[in-house]
Chain A
Amino acid sequence: MRTVRVVGVVVLLWGAALSLAQESKIGNLTGHAKSGKALYRRYCITCHGSHGDGVGENAPYLDPKPRDFTRATFKCRSTPSGSLPTDSDLFDAISRGIFNSAMPPWRPLTREERADLVAYIKTFSPRFQEEKPAAPLQIPPEPPSSSESVQRGAELFQNMNCWSCHGKEGRGNGPSAHNLTDSKGNPIVPFDLTSGMHLKCGDSSQGIFRDLMTGLDGTPMPSFSDAMTPDQAWDLVHFIEWLQSANRGKGFWAKLASKGD
C-alpha cells in the first residue's frame, strides 16, 4: 500500500518536474524544449555538441571554448554565485551573444525560437529539475558618477585585489593573470578594462554592477556580494567606466589605424 502510494507520488512529481523542465518562461513568452531541439540541432550543435557538453565539431578550434551545458554553470547571470541562472538570463545570453567569443547574437531567430532554445538547453543538466534559481539580484538606482566616486572606486580596485588579475592600470596584466584557467582547466585571460572592447555580459552600468555582485561562474572572477555594499559596487562601476573612457582611442586598434594613415 505504502509502496504504491510512494510510487504514485514520485511518478506525479517526476512528471510535473519533467514537464516544467521542458519549458522556459521569459516574461509572458513560453518556450518548449521539443521545438528547441530542432533549432539546437540546426544552429548550436556544431560548437556545443549533440550532448550539450561543449565538445562539438568546431570546439577544438575555438577560444574561449563553447559552454558545457551539462555543468549548468553560466557566466552571465542575475543570480548569486553557485545558483542556476534564470530563464531570462539564458535568453539574454542567446540574444546578446558573448562578446570576445565565437558566440554571436542570435537576434535573427524570433523571440519564441530563442525561448524554445532556452527550454532545450535546460534539459542537458539534471540540476534544472532538482533545483530552482535563487532570487535574482536587485540592482538599486545608480547614483551619479563623480570624480569622488571614481576615486573611491580606484581605492576599492586596490583593496579588493582586482589588480592581481586585471593589473594596476586595468590592462589585464596583473601578477596572477598569466596562469589563470577556467573551471575546466582551459587557459583564460582577465579582461583588459582599457581595451575599449565590449564586456562579455553587456556594457551597461547595470551590467557591470551585476557582474561584480554575481561573479562570472566557471571563471576566476568571483562574486563581491559579501565583500562590497551596493554603494561601493557603484563606485567601482564608475571607476571601471572611467578606465574605459580615459583610454578611448588609445587601444590596439586605434594604434593600428593611426599607423596606417
Chain B
Amino acid sequence: MPVFPEIFGWRFLFESAETNWLDMRQYWFHLAILGGLAACLATEGKLRMGVAAPMPNPPGATVKGTVKFKGTVPKPSRIDMSADAKCVQARPGGGLTEEIVADGGGLQNVIVYVSQGLGDAKFDPPKEPAVIDQKGCMYQPHVVTLRANQELKVVNSDNTTHNIHPIPNNNRELNQSQPPGVPFSMTFAREEIAIPVNCNIHPWMHSYIAVFKHPYFAVTGKAGGFEIPNLPPGTYTITAWHEKLGSSFQKITVGESETKTLEFVFKAQPGF
C-alpha cells in the first residue's frame, strides 16, 4: 500500500478498516481537484500582481504648454437673465457668455488630455468628489473634469430652482430638478469627452463635463496654460478639446522626469 499524503484527515479514513466507503479513485479525484484549484490560485495571484504594478509611479514626466487663439477674439455677449428675477438679483446686469474666452492670446477652458498611449492600464477613481456649482445662474466651473465613477457633487448656491441635465452619448442621461440648498450627486461610468450640460429652466446656462478613465488631463486657465504631471515615460497622443473650436492632437515621447512643452493653436472660425 502506497503512503498517501494527508488531506483533511482522509488518510486516516482510508487506512482504517472500518471506513471503506471512501475508495481509492475518489481519493485521487479529490486530490486532483485540490491540485487544480491551487494551480488556478497561483496563476491568478501572479497575473494580479502583474496588473497591480502596471507602470512605475515616480519619477514621472511632465507635459506642459499653452493653448493659443489666433485671430480676432469674438466679443462675448451679455446674457439677458430677465426671465428669472432671482437670477438678475444674484448677478445684476447679467453675465458674459463663456464660449470663447481668450485674454492675451491664451485660450481658456480647453481640455488637454492623454488620448492614446496608456494601453489598458486601470486607475481607481479618487474618493473626493468633483464639484459643479450653480452660482449667479451660471455654472462654475464652465468645464468640469472628473474620472469615471467619481462622484460629481452638484451644488446650487442660488436662491432659485435649477435643473441639471447632462446629455451624454456614451453614458446614461438624467435630468434632475434642484431647488436651493438641496444637495445632489451623480456619477458617469464611461469615458466621454465631453458631455454637454444644460439647465432647461435657464437656457443660457451651458457647461461641459469631461469624464476620463485615467488621471492625465488638465483644463487651461486664464493664460491658456496647462500642465499634466506624473506621466509615466512613454509615447502619447495629447489632444486638446474646445467646445466650439473642435480638437487637435500631437504625438509626444517623454522619458523619466523629463519635462516637455507643447503648443496648440486654435484659429478663429467664421461665425464666432
Q: Which of B36-44, B55-63, B229-237, B262-270 contacts A (4 or more CB under 8 A)?
A: B36-44
Q: Are B160 and A161 in contact (CB under 8 A)?
A: yes
Q: Are B40 and A5 in contact (CB under 8 A)?
A: yes
Could you give, for residues 234-265 of chain B, a 1 whenever the CB lies within 8 Å of some chain A CB and a 0 otherwise?
Answer: 00000000000000000000000000000000
Q: Tell me the B100-148 residues at the A interface (CB within 8 Å).
A: none
Q: Are B163 and A1 in contact (CB under 8 A)?
A: no
Q: Are A160 and B36 in contact (CB under 8 A)?
A: no
Q: Which residues of B contact A222 (CB under 8 A)?
A: 163-165, 175-177, 200
Central interface residue in A80, A176, A223, by most chain B CB within 10 Å: A176
Task: Verify if B79 is at the interface (C-beta below 8 Å from A).
Answer: no
Task: Verify if B93 is at the interface (C-beta below 8 Å from A).
Answer: no
Task: Verify if B15 is at the interface (C-beta below 8 Å from A).
Answer: no
Task: Choose one: A71, A131, A164, A215; the contact of B202 (CB below 8 Å).
Answer: A164
Complex-state Cα separation, A183 to B172, whole angstroms: 12
Task: Verify if B184 is at the interface (C-beta below 8 Å from A).
Answer: yes
Q: Are A2 and B200 in contact (CB under 8 A)?
A: no
Complex-state Cα separation, A179 to B83, whole angstroms: 13
Q: Which residues of A contact B178 (CB under 8 A)?
A: 226-227
Q: Which residues of B contact A196 (CB under 8 A)?
A: none
Central interface residue in B164, B167, B182, by most chain A CB within 10 Å: B167
Q: How far is the CB of A232 from chain B (nearest CB, A)?
A: 10
Task: Choose one: B160, B173, B179; the contact of A217 (CB below 8 Å).
Answer: B173
Could you give, for residues 211-228 of chain A, a 1 whenever the CB lies within 8 Å of some chain B CB and a 0 otherwise?
Answer: 000010111111111110
Size band of the interface chain A makes with B? 20 to 34
Task: Verify if B33 is at the interface (C-beta below 8 Å from A).
Answer: no
Q: How far is the CB of A26 from chain B (nearest CB, A)?
A: 23
Among residues of B, the one whose C-beta sits closest to the C-beta of A3 is: B43
Q: Which residues of A contact B174 (CB under 8 A)?
A: 80-82, 215, 217, 223
Q: Are B43 and A161 in contact (CB under 8 A)?
A: no
Q: Are A227 and B202 in contact (CB under 8 A)?
A: no
Q: Are B43 and A2 in contact (CB under 8 A)?
A: yes
Q: Which residues of A contact B202 (CB under 8 A)?
A: 164, 176
Size band of the interface chain B makes with A? 20 to 34
Complex-state Cα separation, A80 to B178, whole angstroms: 15
Task: Verify if B201 is at the interface (C-beta below 8 Å from A).
Answer: yes
Q: Are B177 and A223 in contact (CB under 8 A)?
A: yes
Task: Verify if A73 is at the interface (C-beta below 8 Å from B).
Answer: yes
Q: Are B200 and A159 in contact (CB under 8 A)?
A: no
Task: Verify if A208 is at the interface (C-beta below 8 Å from B).
Answer: no
Could you give, for residues 86-106 of chain A, a 1 whenever the CB lies within 8 Å of some chain B CB and a 0 otherwise?
Answer: 000000000000000000000
Q: Tell me the A203-256 residues at the B interface (CB within 8 Å).
A: 215, 217-227
Task: Verify if B9 is at the interface (C-beta below 8 Å from A).
Answer: no
Q: How far is the CB of A226 from chain B (nearest CB, A)?
A: 5
Q: Which residues of B contact A221 (CB under 8 A)?
A: 175, 200
Q: Which residues of B contact A18 (CB under 8 A)?
A: none
Q: Are B161 and A159 in contact (CB under 8 A)?
A: yes
Q: Which residues of A contact B83 (CB under 8 A)?
A: 164, 175-176
Task: Verify if A59 is at the interface (C-beta below 8 Å from B).
Answer: no
Complex-state Cα separation, A82 to B162, whole angstroms: 17
Q: Are A81 and B175 in contact (CB under 8 A)?
A: yes
Complex-state Cα separation, A175 to B137, whole angstroms: 15
Q: How far is the CB of A154 from chain B (nearest CB, A)?
A: 15
Complex-state Cα separation, A231 to B104, whole angstroms: 54
Q: Are B201 and A223 in contact (CB under 8 A)?
A: no
Could you give, for residues 181-204 of chain B, a 1 whenever the CB lies within 8 Å of some chain A CB and a 0 otherwise?
Answer: 010101000000000001011110
Q: Which residues of A contact B184 (CB under 8 A)?
A: 226
Q: Tell me the A138-171 residues at the B interface (CB within 8 Å).
A: 159-161, 164-165
Q: How far is the CB of B94 from chain A (nearest CB, A)?
A: 14
Complex-state Cα separation, A7 to B28, whole angstroms: 27
Quick one: given A1-B39, A176-B203, A180-B200, are A161 and B173 in contact (CB under 8 Å)? Answer: no
Interface residues of A (CB under 8 A from B): 1-2, 5, 71, 73, 80-83, 127, 131, 159-161, 164-165, 175-176, 179-180, 183, 215, 217-227
Subset of 28 A-B contacts with CB under 8 Å: A1-B36, A2-B43, A2-B44, A71-B173, A160-B161, A161-B84, A161-B160, A164-B83, A164-B84, A164-B200, A175-B84, A176-B200, A176-B202, A176-B203, A180-B200, A215-B174, A215-B177, A217-B174, A220-B175, A220-B200, A222-B165, A222-B177, A223-B175, A224-B177, A226-B184, A227-B161, A227-B178, A227-B182
Q: Which 3 A-B pairs have the closest CB atoms?
A: A82-B174, A220-B200, A175-B83
